[in-house]
């Protein structure tokens, strides 16, 4: 009917609100990124027995109201559906503590911001303390028994408790809105399995909510990119599912949309380089598995800038350079040098009084700039015992002049996250390197952060500092000896050329020694 349009003369819709398209796009891309590596893995069925939900990506996709009186209920719609998506088996792991962990199909969990305008009418609750937290509301079957969190989880700080039933009435407006937007009758909703088999024993029952309970989730998971910098760094923990193959693409890249945080190994055992050298001196290639790329890179010394004072005992040098291994890929090099008082021994073997203790380092990648990353020299993940655990057993005293180099392969985001979503300071940042340590004798931790900006990016490999190029040559060499699975068409001759061009002053002669070793490798078998 050609005149249908005229006859019905439908009202034109209003314009979508500002940023609506961007929010939708960000949500869509988050889903796309989260799914894509899994699809490549050969169509593995989604795992439904363990759903880990973190709010970071969700929060990034939907900006929370900030200091406004606007009700949040329409913002919560997305989270609600996010929960349902989790039920579809989508694993959403975004750095930080596991918020909730369910066995069995899960759905109907609702996330709502407890925004800045959280009602102060709730007696006994420090409103400011929950400013950046999210209320997580789940359905719990009446006969379910609470189960403790897996042992891998660090203890949570005490949650606010709804003291009496009366107080429940003054529960915040935001949470009320969240409840209003949750399906109030899930048990009659036959499209969805209403049962969540596991709920946390510290979740709070609320007589008014029937089978629902709620808990607050800590700020560290709910802040957008870039906000984790200092104060929250120590609340970062690796999620127990960090090693889950679903977070990792077949070629070892971790999706930033899922896990924007990576630990940076701070203490690296360099001994295995000697075994490699000895083997090649005898014209034999060592067994592939005996070669440790990170050990080789850290066997050499680099002339990173030195910190000026003992008060800030570490200086971080970062550079982003085009990768010689893979087209469109970049390498992020992080060099950290410790303070060395005049006269102290300089180098990897510390001497003299420690400059710091309990050092932890992590990097947070900006999803607007990086879609995936891989820590060079480790199988997807550095060993779990390195830092970022409560006991931090590995990180002891650090001696003067201590130097460490870490290298990440980065896959740039092919399509920048819309500006409305990428938080303002972050539009062009690759990420942030966060450090936490204790100065000797200090009772509290000190934090520092180094932002990886485009200023640290070198457009060509040749333009990069000699130290960075040499480190890449060593890493390439180690990877080639290991079989060259990651180094594309690179050959020992290429490594040789790289190393020779990056030799620099080489007062100790160690770089010349490396070059000789590469020559031996060319003929070794």
Partner 1 sequence: MQVFSDMIRSPDVMNRETDPDAELVFKAAAGDRKAFASLVRSHYNRLFRLVWRMVGSREDAEDIVQDVCFTLATRIDTFRGESKVSTWLAGIAINAARDFLRRRKARMNTLEGYAAVVNLFPQADEHNPQRALWLAGALGRLKDDLRETVILVAGEGLSHAEAAEVLNVTENTVSWRMFEARKALSREGIAEVFHD
Smallest gap from Cβ 123 to partner 1, in A, equals 17
The span from the CA of 256 to the CA of 451, in Å, is: 17
444 touching partner 1, by CB under 8 A: no
4 touching partner 1, by CB under 8 A: yes
Both tokens of residue 94?
Answer: 């975004």
24 vs 466 by CB, closer to partner 1: 24
16 touching partner 1, by CB under 8 A: yes
Rg of the chain over Cα atoms, rounded to whole angstroms, equals 26
Stretches 23-31, 230-238, 436-444, 471-479: which one binds partner 1 (CB under 8 A)? 23-31
Q: Which of 78, 314, 325, 477 binds partner 1 (CB under 8 A)?
A: 78
Q: For the chain, how many residues are written?
A: 525
| Per-residue DSSP letter, 112 | E
| 136 Cβ contact partners less than 8 Å away, ≥ 6 residues apart | 99, 100, 109, 110, 111, 214, 215, 216, 217
Angle, CA 404 vertex, CA 399 and CA 405 arms, to 5°: 175
Q: Which of 47, 48, 77, 446 binds partner 1 (CB under 8 A)?
A: 77
420 touching partner 1, by CB under 8 A: no
Q: Which of 41, 55, 81, 489 binds partner 1 (CB under 8 A)?
A: 81
Smallest gap from Cβ 415 to partner 1, in A, equals 5
> Site map for partner 1, 324-363, x if CB under 8 A?
----------------------------------------
The span from the CA of 426 to the CA of 413, in Å, is: 14
| 505 Cβ contact partners less than 8 Å away, ≥ 6 residues apart | none
Smallest gap from Cβ 177 to partner 1, in A, equals 8
| Per-residue DSSP letter, 138 | E
Q: What is the 3-state secondary structure (H, E, C) of 260-303?
A: CEEECCCCCCCCHHHHHHHHHHCCCCCCHHHCCHHHHHHHCCCC
8 vs 155 by CB, closer to partner 1: 8
> Site map for partner 1, 148-177, x if CB under 8 A?
---------------------x------xx
Stretches 4-12, 128-136, 272-280, 504-512: which one binds partner 1 (CB under 8 A)? 4-12
The span from the CA of 470 to the CA of 300, in Å, is: 9
| Per-residue DSSP letter, 520 | H
Smallest gap from Cβ 165 to partner 1, in A, equals 11
27 touching partner 1, by CB under 8 A: yes
17 touching partner 1, by CB under 8 A: yes
121 touching partner 1, by CB under 8 A: no
Element (H, E) at 59: helix 56-61
Smallest gap from Cβ 506 to partner 1, in A, equals 43
Q: How far does the chain reach from its first CA to its final CA, in angstroms? A: 78
Inter-residue contact 191 to 25 (CB < 8 Å): no
Q: Which of 40, 66, 379, 493 binds partner 1 (CB under 8 A)?
A: 40
| 336 Cβ contact partners less than 8 Å away, ≥ 6 residues apart | 266, 304, 314, 315, 316, 317, 361, 403, 404, 405, 435
14 touching partner 1, by CB under 8 A: yes
Stretches 7-15, 113-121, 197-205, 327-335: which one binds partner 1 (CB under 8 A)? 7-15
80 vs 277 by CB, closer to partner 1: 80
29 touching partner 1, by CB under 8 A: yes
Binding site for partner 1 (CB under 8 A): 1, 4-5, 7-14, 16-17, 20-21, 23-25, 27-36, 39-40, 62, 71, 74, 77-78, 81, 85, 88, 90, 169, 176-177, 179-180, 183-185, 188-189, 191, 208, 371, 413-415
């Amino acid at each position: 009917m050609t005149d249908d349009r005229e006859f019905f003369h439908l009202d034109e819709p209003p314009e979508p609100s500002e940023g609506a398209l961007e929010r939708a796009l960000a949500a869509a891309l988050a889903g796309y990124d989260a799914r894509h590596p899994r699809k490549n893995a050969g169509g593995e069925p989604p795992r439904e027995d363990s759903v880990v939900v973190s709010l970071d990506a969700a929060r990034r996709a939907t900006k929370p109201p900030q200091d406004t009186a606007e009700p949040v209920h329409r913002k919560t719609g997305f989270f609600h559906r996010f929960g349902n998506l989790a039920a579809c088996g989508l694993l959403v792991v975004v750095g930080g503590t596991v918020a909730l962990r369910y066995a069995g199909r899960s759905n109907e969990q609702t996330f709502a911001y407890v925004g800045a305008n959280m009602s102060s009418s709730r007696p006994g609750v420090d409103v400011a303390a929950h400013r950046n937290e999210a209320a997580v509301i789940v359905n719990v079957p009446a006969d379910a028994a609470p189960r403790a969190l897996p042992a891998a989880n660090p203890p949570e700080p005490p949650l606010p408790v709804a003291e009496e039933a009366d107080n429940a009435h003054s529960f915040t407006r935001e949470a009320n809105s969240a409840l209003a937007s949750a399906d109030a009758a899930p048990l009659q909703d036959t499209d969805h399995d209403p049962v969540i088999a596991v709920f946390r024993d510290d979740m709070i029952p609320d007589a008014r909510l029937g089978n629902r309970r709620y808990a607050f989730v800590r700020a560290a998971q709910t802040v957008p990119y870039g906000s984790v910098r200092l104060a929250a760094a120590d609340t970062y923990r690796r999620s127990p599912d960090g090693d889950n193959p679903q977070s990792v693409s077949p070629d070892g890249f971790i999706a930033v949309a899922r896990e924007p945080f990576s630990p940076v190994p701070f203490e690296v055992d360099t001994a295995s380089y000697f075994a490699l050298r000895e083997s090649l001196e005898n014209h034999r290639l060592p067994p592939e598995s005996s070669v440790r790329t990170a050990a080789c890179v850290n066997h050499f010394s680099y002339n990173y800038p030195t910190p000026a004072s003992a008060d800030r005992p570490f200086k971080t040098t970062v550079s982003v350079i085009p990768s010689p291994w893979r087209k469109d890929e970049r390498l992020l090099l992080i060099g950290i040098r410790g303070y060395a008082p005049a006269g102290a021994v300089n180098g990897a073997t510390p001497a003299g009084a420690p400059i710091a203790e309990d050092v932890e380092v992590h990097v947070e990648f900006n999803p607007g700039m990086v879609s995936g990353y891989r820590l060079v020299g480790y199988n997807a993940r550095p060993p779990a015992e390195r830092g970022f655990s409560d006991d931090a057993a590995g990180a002891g005293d650090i001696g003067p002049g201590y130097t460490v180099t870490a290298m990440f392969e980065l896959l740039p985001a092919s399509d920048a996250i819309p500006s409305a979503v990428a938080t303002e300071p972050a539009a062009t940042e690759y990420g942030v390197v966060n450090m936490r340590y204790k100065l000797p004798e200090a009772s509290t931790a000190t934090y520092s952060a180094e932002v990886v900006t485009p200023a640290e990016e070198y457009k060509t490999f040749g333009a990069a500092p000699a130290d960075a190029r040499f480190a890449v040559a060593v890493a390439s060499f180690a990877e080639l000896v290991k079989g060259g699975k990651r180094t594309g068409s690179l050959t020992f001759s290429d490594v040789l050329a790289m190393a020779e061009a990056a030799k620099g002053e080489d007062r100790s002669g160690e770089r010349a020694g490396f070059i000789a070793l590469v020559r031996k490798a060319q003929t070794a078998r």
